[in-house]
Amino acid sequence: MIRKLTAIAAVAAAFVAAAPAALGQDYPSRLIKIIQGFPPGGNVDLIARILATEMEKSLGQSIVVEAKPGLAGALAAETAARADADGYTLLVLPSAHPAYGALAKNVKFKVVDDFSWISVASFYPFIICVKADSRFKTLKQLVDEAKAKPGELKYGSAGIGSILHTTVELIGSQTKTKFLHVPYRGEAPALTGVLTGDVDFIAATTGPVSARLKSGEFRALAVTGKTRWPDFPDVPTVAETVLPGFEVISWTGMAAPANLPKPIVDRLNGEVRKALAVPDVKQKLTAMGGDPRATTPDEMKALVSRQYETWKKLAAEANLSIN
């Protein structure tokens, strides 16, 4: 009897051990949905569609991208966090994810622990932009006027708690300057707000604004990276102009609901790496102003955790919060 029970236990253990591997081998067997939390045409949406188009070739299944805008991407994150951890609901998200999670009072998910982290796809800085005929020629001019007229200069963002919002607030906090925040439902409408004169400036991601800078619609005042951006070598960094040592680098990457089986995580990580190695994909992401570069799942999780702590510190020091 004891031998029989031992044998049954051994078979059961072998079955459990083999189940994740089998699941990984069968994946995917049906359509995959990628959720992203911003209006069509923005940086996150563009990257999600580029990845989906390339990954469905080698995965052998259709991938649809669904926009679920709102709350700086948090609505999409909440939807993904509640989905089944089977690899058929994925999330493409930006560095706004830890920023919003640090500032919002009522986040309905755990910023780090409610997700399986797959890989970052692209890194990029922000560009402080005004419309081409703006009176501001430099970031210092803008900051000096804002100091003289606290709360009068308006800036647009992709929403309260978005990384576009927190980046400007970080500049304001460190220069002891007060700007007036005007949130939009995404980066594309915020850029339109700059052109119409509804707001004075924006910290824009390189993707949606690079071509428009080159065409003359906007003027770049500064980039938020540690070094000048290769596409705009004449544009100084924030550190060169008003804040020595300043740096904010953003990213967009892929995640899934927590507890996604490791074989599927590994498969998807490999698919992102494969996609980023395709010359056409790399060229598109580079043209958007990004630095296409994959990470391991653990590296992405550590990045999210680190940025979450950074923004929590800013929220406490600058008394920033989202109701």
Count the Cβ atoms, other than its own, within 10 Å of residue 181: 16
Residue 323 within any structural domain of the chain: no
62 and 144 together in one domain: no
CATH classification of the domain holding 142: 3.40.190.10
Is it the case that residue 20 has pLDDT exceeding 50?
no
109 and 135 together in one domain: no
Residue 1 within any structural domain of the chain: no
For 61, half-sphere exposure in the C-beta direction (CA atoms, 13 angstrom radius) is 16
11 and 68 together in one domain: yes
The pLDDT assigned to 16 comes to 45
Residue 190 within any structural domain of the chain: yes
- 102 vs 249, which has greater pLDDT? 102
Is it the case that residue 262 has pLDDT exceeding 50?
yes
160 and 112 together in one domain: no
Residue 201 within any structural domain of the chain: yes
Count the Cβ atoms, other than its own, within 10 Å of residue 12: 10
**Continuous H helices in the chain:** 2-26, 43-59, 74-82, 96-103, 139-148, 163-175, 187-196, 206-214, 238-241, 262-277, 279-287, 297-318
First to last CA, the chain: 62
CATH classification of the domain holding 295: 3.40.190.150
Residue 25 within any structural domain of the chain: yes
**Taking the mean position of all CA atoms in its chain, how far away is CA 200?**
24
- 235 vs 6, which has greater pLDDT? 235
223 and 190 together in one domain: yes
Q: 239 falls in which pLDDT band (50, 70, 90)?
A: very high
The pLDDT assigned to 23 comes to 52
Is it the case that residue 4 has pLDDT exceeding 90?
no
136 and 233 together in one domain: yes
175 and 256 together in one domain: no
208 and 258 together in one domain: no
Q: Which of 175, 210, 241 is the last residue of a domain?
A: 241
The pLDDT assigned to 24 comes to 63
Residue 48 within any structural domain of the chain: yes
Q: Which of 219, 241, 263 is the last residue of a domain?
A: 241
167 and 78 together in one domain: no
Q: What percent of the chain has pLDDT over 70?
A: 92
The pLDDT assigned to 161 comes to 76
Residue 263 within any structural domain of the chain: yes
Q: Which of 224, 241, 258 is the last residue of a domain?
A: 241
215 and 259 together in one domain: no
Q: Which two tokens stand for residue 122?
A: 């692209």
The two beta strands, 115-131 and 201-205, are antiparallel
Which residues form the domain of 129?
A: 125-241
Place of tokens 């999409």: 76
**Residue range 189-237, pLDDT digits in tens:** 999 999 999 999 999 988 788 889 999 999 999 999 889 988 899 999 9
Count the Cβ atoms, other than its own, within 10 Å of residue 8: 10
Mean pLDDT of 238-264: 95
Question: In sequence order, which residues have a C-beta less than 8 Å from that of residue 284 and are 6 or more positions away?
Answer: 50
**Residue range 85-137, pLDDT digits in tens:** 999 999 999 998 999 999 998 899 999 999 999 999 999 889 999 999 999 99
Please answer whether residues 101 and 217 qualify as being in contact, where contact means their C-beta atoms are separated by less than 8 angstroms. no
Distance of alpha carbon 189 from alpha carbon 297, whole angstroms: 33
The pLDDT assigned to 21 comes to 47
142 and 211 together in one domain: yes
11 and 117 together in one domain: yes
Q: Which two tokens stand for residue 230?
A: 């290769």
Q: What percent of the chain has pLDDT over 90?
A: 71
Distance of alpha carbon 251 from alpha carbon 245, whole angstroms: 20
Say whether pTM exceeds 0.95: no
- 311 vs 144, which has greater pLDDT? 144
Residue 281 within any structural domain of the chain: yes
Tally of structural domains, the chain: 2
